[in-house]
């Protein structure tokens, strides 16, 4: 008679995700809806699955498909910040990361929406194709109201090095300031092209680990939708 050996117990599940959970908890304390951007490249501030910026499934990589006799599906147009073609983001970053940012409309993902506490708007900027460094900038602008200009407005700034757990935040709106801000209506109801420039006098501190990051100057133009459908103003570049 054969004796059946007892099966081995299953290996314990990995605990590597614990660091990611801790990083996201820190971002939640800042009141920023940045989703899982701390560990996932090219994540929008809505953090929704299937949204622009979602990672390509690994299974799609490295697969060669023979050409068929049927019609060729046209390639989707490149991602752009504003359909009008005049979106952009520029910044000088020094400290733990040194970079001079100059992102044109084409290839830049941007999103804007109202925020609650304190009232205002939130805008994010990142490159569609991951750059080096692969940065996501999230600006929380205090006191901005639909369609109105603004001056000397406080800014809560968060900078995320995507693909890592490195997050830097000002933890409030007293370290950065908007010099001037203007809003121009877009075709979509309740949506505006928001153009602003500003500066930071103190650095953003590391939410996890060590290091500081000073964004000495910044300027941008991107969409803000004051309605619930923020996706209406994010569209391919012209």
In a domain, residue 238? The reply is no
What residue numbers bound the domain in which 128 lies? 18-48+80-233
Q: What total number of domains does the chain contain?
A: 1
In a domain, residue 61? The reply is no
In a domain, residue 58? The reply is no
Predicted local distance difference test score (pLDDT) of residue 4: 52
Q: Which of 16-30, 70-84, 125-139, 173-187 has the lowest mean pLDDT?
A: 16-30
User: What DSSP character marks residue 195?
Assistant: E
CA distance 137 to 103: 12
Relative to beta strand 135-142, strand 120-127 is: antiparallel
Mind listing the pLDDT tens digit for each residue in 67-104? 344 454 445 555 799 999 999 999 999 999 999 999 99
In a domain, residue 163? The reply is yes
Number of H helices, E strands in the chain: 1, 11
Nearest to 178 by CA among 140, 235, 233: 140
CA distance 145 to 155: 14
- Is pLDDT at 187 greater than 60 in this prediction? yes
Predicted local distance difference test score (pLDDT) of residue 128: 85
In a domain, residue 105? The reply is yes
Mind listing the pLDDT tens digit for each residue in 191-219? 999 999 999 999 999 997 789 999 999 99
69 or 131, greater pLDDT:
131
Confidence of residue 112 (pLDDT cuts 50, 70, 90): very high
In a domain, residue 104? The reply is yes
In a domain, residue 165? The reply is yes
Predicted local distance difference test score (pLDDT) of residue 66: 37
In a domain, residue 216? The reply is yes
Residue by residue, DSSP assigns 123-146 as EEEEESS--SS-EEEEEEEET--T
- Is pLDDT at 230 greater than 50 in this prediction? no
Strand extents, DSSP E, the chain: 88-95, 99-103, 108-115, 120-127, 135-142, 150-161, 166-169, 176-185, 191-200, 204-206, 212-225
Predicted local distance difference test score (pLDDT) of residue 178: 97
């Amino acid at each position: 008679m054969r004796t059946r050996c007892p099966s081995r117990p299953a290996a314990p599940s990995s605990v590597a995700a614990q660091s990611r959970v801790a990083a996201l908890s820190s971002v939640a304390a800042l009141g920023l809806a940045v989703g899982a951007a701390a560990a996932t490249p090219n994540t929008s501030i809505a953090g929704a699955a299937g949204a622009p910026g979602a990672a390509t499934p690994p299974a799609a990589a490295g697969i060669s498909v023979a050409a068929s006799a049927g019609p060729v599906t046209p390639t989707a147009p490149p991602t752009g910040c504003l359909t009008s073609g005049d979106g952009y983001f520029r910044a000088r970053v020094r400290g733990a990361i040194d970079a001079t940012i100059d992102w044109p409309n084409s290839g830049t993902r941007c999103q804007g929406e109202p925020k609650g506490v304190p009232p205002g708007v939130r805008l994010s900027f990142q490159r569609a194709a991951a750059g080096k460094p692969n940065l996501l900038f999230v600006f929380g602008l205090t006191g901005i109201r639909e369609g109105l200009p603004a001056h000397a407005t406080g800014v809560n700034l968060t900078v995320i090095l995507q693909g890592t757990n490195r997050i830097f935040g000002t933890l409030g709106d007293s370290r950065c300031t908007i010099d001037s801000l203007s809003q121009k209506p877009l075709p979509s109801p309740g949506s505006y092209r928001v153009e602003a420039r500003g500066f930071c006098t103190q650095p953003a501190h590391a939410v996890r680990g060590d290091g500081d990051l000073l964004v000495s100057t910044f300027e941008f133009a991107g969409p803000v939708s004051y309605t619930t459908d923020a996706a209406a103003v994010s569209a391919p570049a012209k």
